[in-house]
């Protein structure tokens, strides 16, 4: 068994790994166990009853966390002319067209969210193999392919979180910082789980939300009773 640090071992001693915690108690413990020298991210993982290899069981979407994520989000926008100006005025960090495409193709990806106007998709489409695996490919289903780039940039900067189920049926995301008040984290977690619940695909049969766990960046995970976040 791999050795663990003293802080992690102490955090483990304060929790019961076999217990299903009520979400409020889980948040309290996660905050108490966040002992790193930096402000740890509070993360959620949801195990869903889906097989994303089937198109009718894919889960994806976007949710605006009411209290933001607590992290600075760098936004890139593919746009030209007036739309490019709108994006800059809204706070986009990087704005471009063919020049931005060339940077991405060279591996220069200095952004966390990518937005595009519809007319730019022939260019952006060439970047699928680069942006897709990083979950950065613009998509109209989550509002990142849109003529309203100003609103999209503000949403991204303000705490909008995209989610997409992985091949093992898990959705995960950062839902705030350990320094957030417990009530703020609870609001964010419930907003996220509600969005995932509403994104239930038609092909999902039986139990949809099977397991939920939350943790801080450096802390142990706690299993949460799904009914406590319904």
Domain of 217, CATH number, reads 3.30.190.20
Is 148 among the domain residues? Answer: yes
What local confidence, expressed as pLDDT, does residue 126 receive? 96
CA distance 144 to 155: 10
Is 12 among the domain residues? Answer: no
Residue 95, classed as helix, strand or coil, is strand
- Asked if 108 and 180 sit in the same domain, the reply is no
- Asked if 153 and 165 sit in the same domain, the reply is no
Say which DSSP state 120 is in: G
**Tens of pLDDT, residues 153-167:** 999 998 889 899 998
- Asked if 151 and 89 sit in the same domain, the reply is yes
- Asked if 59 and 81 sit in the same domain, the reply is no
CA distance 225 to 21: 6
CA distance 144 to 120: 12
The proportion of the chain whose per-residue pLDDT surpasses 70, expressed as a percent, equals 98
Is 9 among the domain residues? Answer: no
Say which DSSP state 27 is in: H
Alpha helices in 109-216 (DSSP H): 121-124, 128-131, 149-158, 182-198
Percent helix, strand and coil across the chain, each rounded to 5?
A: 40, 20, 40
CA distance 94 to 75: 6
- Asked if 124 and 82 sit in the same domain, the reply is yes
- Asked if 131 and 175 sit in the same domain, the reply is no
- Asked if 56 and 170 sit in the same domain, the reply is yes
Domain coverage including residue 116:
75-157
CA distance 75 to 18: 40
Number of domains in the chain: 2
Domain of 82, CATH number, reads 3.40.50.790
**Tens of pLDDT, residues 93-111:** 999 999 999 999 999 999 9
Is 145 among the domain residues? Answer: yes
Look up the pTM and report it.
0.83
Is 101 among the domain residues? Answer: yes
Is 8 among the domain residues? Answer: no
- Asked if 54 and 94 sit in the same domain, the reply is no
CA distance 211 to 207: 10
CA distance 45 to 58: 16
- Asked if 61 and 99 sit in the same domain, the reply is no
- For the chain, the straight-line distance linking the first and the last C-alpha, in angstroms and rounded, comes to 36
Residue 153, classed as helix, strand or coil, is helix
**Tens of pLDDT, residues 192-215:** 999 999 999 999 999 999 999 999
- Asked if 166 and 153 sit in the same domain, the reply is no
**Tens of pLDDT, residues 30-74:** 999 998 999 999 999 999 999 999 999 999 999 999 999 998 999
**Final residue of a domain: which of 126, 157, 188?**
157
Nearest alpha carbon to residue 170 among 22, 43, 70, 67: 43
Is 193 among the domain residues? Answer: yes
The token duo for 108 is 């220069």
CA distance 114 to 67: 22
- Asked if 150 and 92 sit in the same domain, the reply is yes
Is 142 among the domain residues? Answer: yes
What local confidence, expressed as pLDDT, does residue 13 receive? 81
**Final residue of a domain: which of 157, 180, 208?**
157
1 pLDDT more than 50: no
**Final residue of a domain: which of 121, 136, 157?**
157
Please name the residue that has the structure tokens 């995301």: 173
- Asked if 169 and 214 sit in the same domain, the reply is yes
Q: Which run of H or of E encompasses 117?
A: none
């Amino acid at each position: 068994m791999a050795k663990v640090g003293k802080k992690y071992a102490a955090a483990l001693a304060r929790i019961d790994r076999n217990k299903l915690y009520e979400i409020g108690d889980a948040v309290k413990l996660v905050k108490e166990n966040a002992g790193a020298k930096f402000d740890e991210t509070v993360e959620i993982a949801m195990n869903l009853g889906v097989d994303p290899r089937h198109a009718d069981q894919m889960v994806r979407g976007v949710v605006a966390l009411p209290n933001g994520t607590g992290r600075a989000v760098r936004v890139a926008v593919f746009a030209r002319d007036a739309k490019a100006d709108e994006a800059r005025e809204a706070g986009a960090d990087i704005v471009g067209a063919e020049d931005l495409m060339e940077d991405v193709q060279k591996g220069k990806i200095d952004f966390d969210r990518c937005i595009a106007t519809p007319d730019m998709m022939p260019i952006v489409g060439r970047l699928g193999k680069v942006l897709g695996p990083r979950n950065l490919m613009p998509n109209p289903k989550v509002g990142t392919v849109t003529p309203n780039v100003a609103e999209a940039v503000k949403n991204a900067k303000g705490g909008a979180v995209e989610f997409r189920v992985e091949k093992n049926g898990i959705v995960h995301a950062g839902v705030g910082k350990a320094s957030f008040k417990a009530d703020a984290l609870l609001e964010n977690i419930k907003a996220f789980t509600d969005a995932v619940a509403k994104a239930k695909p038609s092909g999902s049969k039986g139990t949809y939300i099977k397991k939920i766990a939350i943790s801080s960046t450096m802390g142990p995970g706690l299993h949460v009773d799904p009914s406590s976040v319904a």
